[in-house]
């Protein structure tokens, strides 16, 4: 009996492996690796299509779809926490240095300065040991809630979601970039 599969000599040269690393402001001045995760990161591009229906069509017609909404997101599960990261995930918050602790507060205002240049997930691809896979969300703002679950005999992991935002001077360019390395091995 014939076996059907997609494995070939190139298969193991194009696989993203392990959890990678998450950066804030990747490739920019002020680039920072955010630290250790547990459960890694998820990269998502949500696309809403609109069907331009026409009388006489009895089903889907090539060319009838248009993009009406795009949401690029990075969701991360951070094990390593610090006040800078917590400040980043509480959009609009202010970090204040008090003698024995750092204090976070917020006044219900999100400023343009609260948007990060980008959030990037960078990971290894098996066929290229020098150029990584990259998923970069531009003009990133934390759009999720802050929830810290404290459980006996466990470590707290904070889930954070950053959403890309269109640049108001260029509403035709989606706020994300995907980098796939050229295979060298």
Residues 81-126 have pLDDT tens digits of 999 999 999 999 999 999 999 999 998 999 999 999 999 999 999 9
Q: Is the confidence at residue 16, as pLDDT, over 60?
A: yes
154-160: long-range contacts (C-beta < 8 A, 24 or more apart)?
155/38, 155/79, 156/81, 157/38, 157/39, 157/77, 157/78, 157/79, 158/77, 158/78, 158/81, 158/85, 158/86, 158/89, 159/75, 159/76, 159/77, 159/78, 160/75, 160/76, 160/78, 160/85, 160/88, 160/89
Say what the pLDDT of residue 110 is. Answer: 94
Q: What is the average pLDDT value for the chain, to the nearest integer?
A: 94
Closest CA to 41 of 127, 109, 129, 121: 121
pLDDT band for position 183 (cuts 50, 70, 90): confident
Q: Which CATH number is 15-49+62-179 given?
A: 2.30.110
Q: Is the confidence at residue 139, as pLDDT, over 70?
A: yes
- Kindly report the pTM of this predicted structure: 0.90
Chain-centre distance of CA 56, in angstroms? 42
Closest CA to 23 of 113, 140, 175: 140
pLDDT band for position 185 (cuts 50, 70, 90): low
Give Cα separations from 75 to 31, 38, 69, 85, 151 (angstroms): 18, 12, 19, 14, 22
Q: CA gyration radius for the chain?
A: 21
Tokens 């260029």, located at residue: 170
Say what the pLDDT of residue 10 is. Answer: 86
pLDDT band for position 3 (cuts 50, 70, 90): very high
- The ranges assigned to domains in the chain are 15-49+62-179
124-143: average pLDDT: 93
Residue 116: burial class (beta carbons within 10 Å; 0-12, 13-18, 19+): buried
153-164: average pLDDT: 96
């Amino acid at each position: 009996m014939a076996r059907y599969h997609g494995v070939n000599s190139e298969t193991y040269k194009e696989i993203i492996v392990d959890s990678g690393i998450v950066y804030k402001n990747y490739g920019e001045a002020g680039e920072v690796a955010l630290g250790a995760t547990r459960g890694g990161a998820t990269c998502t591009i949500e696309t809403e299509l609109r069907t331009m229906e026409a009388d006489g069509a009895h089903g889907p017609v090539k060319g009838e779809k248009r993009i009406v909404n795009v949401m690029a997101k990075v969701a991360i599960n951070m094990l390593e926490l610090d006040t800078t990261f917590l400040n980043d995930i509480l959009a609009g918050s202010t970090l204040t240095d008090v003698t024995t602790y750092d204090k976070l507060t917020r006044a219900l205002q999100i400023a343009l300065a609260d948007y990060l240049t980008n959030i990037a997930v960078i990971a290894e691809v098996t066929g290229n040991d020098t150029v990584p896979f990259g998923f970069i969300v531009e003009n990133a703002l934390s759009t999720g809630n802050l929830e810290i679950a404290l459980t006996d005999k466990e470590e707290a992991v904070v889930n954070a979601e950053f959403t890309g935002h269109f640049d108001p001077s260029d509403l035709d360019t989606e706020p994300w970039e995907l980098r796939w390395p050229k295979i060298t091995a």
